[in-house]
Structure 1
Amino acid sequence: MVNNASVILSIVERFSPDFAQRSVTRARVSPDPCLPARLPTTGFLQREAEQNAPKAVLRQLRRSPTPPSPTTEYHDATEDTQPHAGRRGSVSSESDQTSPTRSLFTISRSQPSGGWKEPQPFEVFRAVERKDIMFLMEVRDRAFPLLLRKTGDATPLLHAMRIGQSHRDVAIILLGAFSRWINHLEDSEIGLPRTRVILKALRTNLKLGIDYGLYKSQSDLVASFMQTLVMSEGEKWIRAQVSSVSLALRSGNAGKPVSTAEAAVRKFATKELSKADAIAALEDYVANATTDLLLLGAWAIALESIEGEPIPVYYFARDDRVFKSFMDRVNTHQATIRRTLSRRLKWQFRVLQNVLEGRNTTYRRKVEIVTEELDDGDGV
């Protein structure tokens, strides 16, 4: 198709100049396509929600008063006469019935059955040399202290490490048995002299594993060592740090309670662990211990105003035992807490409860969220 517009315009200009001035040809618009922006992916939205939702909840907690309870009157009337009514079963009461450690101790102290005879130390060393894992596991279940006993100048773990790389897997299995014993240790057994002796021997063996670099293959080795150290000799240190964190919590955000707790744990770990990469492997333990110090410190302040039970210090940095114990006590004394505690402490209670509850978020992430609120936030 031919465009004759120019010819027609020239004719019009020739016969009607005024008309030509009135009619102006439009400039051709250049193509400029516009594409809509791509919507974010579901994964991106999920990450944003997980990151921002806790912050929004905490901002709302800071602005809102302590929520009233529908059972306030009931608790007010019954708290003095029935202080333990409605309390959820604590960790210790639940573990008394079905604790693997109780059965472990029972088996160790009971008479041998089915032809079992407690082996001699040389038999344990021979099992290490032969990589007789089944025998070592049977010793773990029936006579655990034999795995820690020093004979001559070596323990079974040290003997396996001295043999060399070929027996590294045996050493890792022994370390796993040590960690298992710590994790299943009963609350009622911790104060016994026999348990103290085992904890001391465990600490020595675990430190050997760290010095030999086995923590690179056994991820929870360093944490188990720190747990053993705290359980055997760390009670005085815990009480001192709880006092420091309590003072920081009283000062609000200016006291930097989260930073105070984390710095104390890191200083303690650095003192006991000389290897920098071993300390780096301790991050989960540091985060767990930091949150526990905050909970212990907050509850220590509350005990100045209410008559309640302290949280056992041997729960310290053992998963969520301190948090469960904290929530048991808060639920038991919630009426008194609403009446007597300061506005700031009640807000700190709500922050700790909302952030630390659940296991879907790592302890390190929980510490970051609590830091943003209790250290860097606007405060109450």
Structure 2
Amino acid sequence: MTSKTTTIPTPYSATSPSIPPPPPSPGRQRTISTLRSPRIQSSPILLHPLPPTSSLNKESVYASELELDKQTRQIQKERQLQEALQEQLFSAERLKVKEEQGTWSAIQQDNLKGKTEGRGRNDSWGHSRGFTHPPQAFELYKAIDQHDIDYIMRIRDHNFGLLLQKNGNEFPILYATRLGERWRDVVILLVGALSRYVNHLDPEDFEKKETLRTLKALRANLKLAIDHTLLHLPPGHSPVLLSSYLQVLIMSEGDSFLYKAIHEISLLLRSRSGLSHEGDGVKPVKEAESIIRKFCTRELRGVKGGVGDVEEYIANATLDLVIMAGWSLAVPGIAEGALLPTHTFARDLRTYTTFMEHLEANLTTINKLNPRIRKILFTLRDLAGDSKKSVRGRLNDVQAVLDAQG
């Protein structure tokens, strides 16, 4: 007898796939979770640590210094280039004036040539007969006593150094000044001789030791003449020729002094802020007048209220210096621009007239320049040439505008 076995399907049988498996028990879940790696939060790190803040600060300062040094060198290169270009302009200007007026060296060579050929010189320098034997100092002083103008002119043309030599305790110009008002024409002749000598020096002559010695003696003559005029001025008399003395003193410094002063004042005009030599705010007109007044002797500076002719000359020279400096700011922006000539310096309105000619000829270009430079130029145009006012009044008007900027 056979028995039949009945198979009862279980929930885990493959014949019933639609029935999901039972969820694991809580104990089983804990076992599974303990077997997995714990979750770590993302936290990126640097392979090398950052340098300390002090090192970063030092590095930033060093980088700033390098950049500043680079910019400074660049500015210096630009300035050197500009000065080189200006020097070429100066050389061309000096050559032009030299061709028009001649030079002291050329005059002396021509005079020497005239001696050897037995003829005198006849040109803008005048004509005079040379000497067979060099004149002596006592002969010059005798000519001064006797108002022998022709003999003094011969010495001026052929033995200029004798006019600067001290004989006894006095120089010739001081001796003539002491003689009084009647010898004023002799003093004028001597001052004119000094002025002419300075005006016709070659730029190269200012490098020669002989010329430097002559200029040193010339300045000593003029300063003594200024002080003597002030100290021995009779009551009720006004000093004469002081402005001429001062003019020759300034001219004896040569073009290099004037170009240096122009450059210095132009930097002050260009500055929007800063300090002048006295520590005040930038005042280019005041600084220009200070440069001119340095040539006054102690006695001249001590005159209360100043001396009329001298103050007028100082104002004229100061105004011309400011005009030349103002125009120099426009030169780099003008094609074939050139500085104003120096031979018009402190000669009434000649510098202003030349300035106006240059300004009108380049007005279209000037209108495109920096607004500050335009304002400076137009201020000088409108105020520096007002013929209804004195030169001191014109200078005050210009100073009120330019020294107030900053």
Same-fold call, TM cutoff 0.5? yes
Which residue of 2 is the match for residue 50 of structure 1? Answer: none
Is 2:135 the partner of 1:135?
A: no
> Could you report, residue by residue, the CA deviation over 1:8-57 in whole angstroms, capped at 9, with x for unpaired residues?
xxxxxxxxxxxxxxxxxxxxxxxxxxxxxxxxxxxxxxxxxxxxxxxxxx
**Partners of 1:345 and 1:204 in 2: CA distance:** 40
Give secondary structure in 2 for the equivalent of 1:211: helix
Equivalent-residue separation in structure 2 for 1:264 and 1:159 (angstroms): 30
Give how far 1:108 is off: 4.4
- Cα drift, residue 283 of structure 1: 0.6
Q: Show the counterpart of 1:366.
A: 394
For residues 220-259 of structure 1, the aligned pairs below 5 Å read 221-233=241-253, 238-251=258-271, 255-259=282-286
TM-score of the superposed pair, with normalisation by structure 1: 0.57
Once the two structures are superposed, what CA deviation does each residue of 1:326-355 show, in whole Å capped at 9, x if it has no partner? 34443444333222x112221221221233
Match of residue 345 from structure 1: 373
Checking the alignment, whether the CA contact within 8 Å between 1:285 and 1:317 is kept in structure 2 is: yes
Residue 155 of structure 1: aligned partner? 171
Deviations 1:90-130 (A, max 9, x none): 99968955789999768744326489342612321222233
TM-score (norm 2): 0.54
Residue 187 of structure 2 aligns with which residue? Answer: 175
Q: Deviations over 1:219-242 (max 9, x none)?
A: 563333333333333666545543
SS in 2 for 1:212: helix
Q: Does 1:189 align with 2:189?
A: no
More helix by share: 1
Going from structure 1 to structure 2, the CA distance change for 1:117 and 1:98 (only over 3 Å counts) comes to closer
1:280 maps to 2:306 = yes
Distance 2:371 2:211 in 1: 42
Equivalenced residue count is: 282
Which residue of structure 2 lines up, in the alignment, with residue 323 of structure 1?
352
Matched, 1:116 2:116: no
Higher relative contact order structure (alpha carbons within 8 Å, sequence separation ≥ 6): 1
- Residue 133 of structure 1 and its aligned partner are, at CA, apart by 4.2
- Could you list the per-position Cα deviations for residues 169-226 of structure 1 after superposition, in whole angstroms to 9, with x for gaps in the alignment? 4663343123324555686635252766654433222112112126957856333333
**Long gaps (5+) in structure 2:** 1-92, 121-127, 274-280
Closer, same or farther: CA 246–94 of 1 in aligned 2, 3 Å? closer
Distance 1:218 1:284 in 2: 14
% same residue: 28
Residue 46 of structure 1 corresponds to none
CA contact (8 A) 1:108 1:143 kept: no
Provide the C-alpha distance between the structure 1 equivalents of 2:94 and 2:384, rounded to a whole number of angstroms: 17
Equivalent-residue separation in structure 1 for 2:96 and 2:348 (angstroms)? 17
Partner deviation per Cα, 1:240-290 (whole Å, 9 max, x = no partner)? 543443243235697443233223433x145x4334129822211220121
Report the Cα distance in structure 1 between the residues aligned to 2:304 and 2:222, rounded to whole angstroms.
Answer: 12
1:265 aligns with 2:287: no
Q: 1:183 to 1:169 in 2, by over 3 A?
A: same
- 8 Å contact from structure 2 (residues 103, 200) kept in 1: no
1:343-370: per-residue Cα shift (whole Å, max 9, x none)?
2221221221233337664321211222
- Classify the secondary structure of the residue corresponding to 1:120: coil
SS of the residue aligned with 1:280? Answer: coil
Q: Provide the secondary structure at the position in 2 that maps to 1:189.
A: coil
5+ residue gaps, structure 1, are 1-89
Report the Cα distance in structure 2 between the residues aligned to 1:248 and 1:92, rounded to whole angstroms: 29
Q: Which amino acid aligns with 2:249?
A: L
Larger Rg: 2
CA gap 1:117/1:305 in 2 versus in 1, 3 angstroms: closer
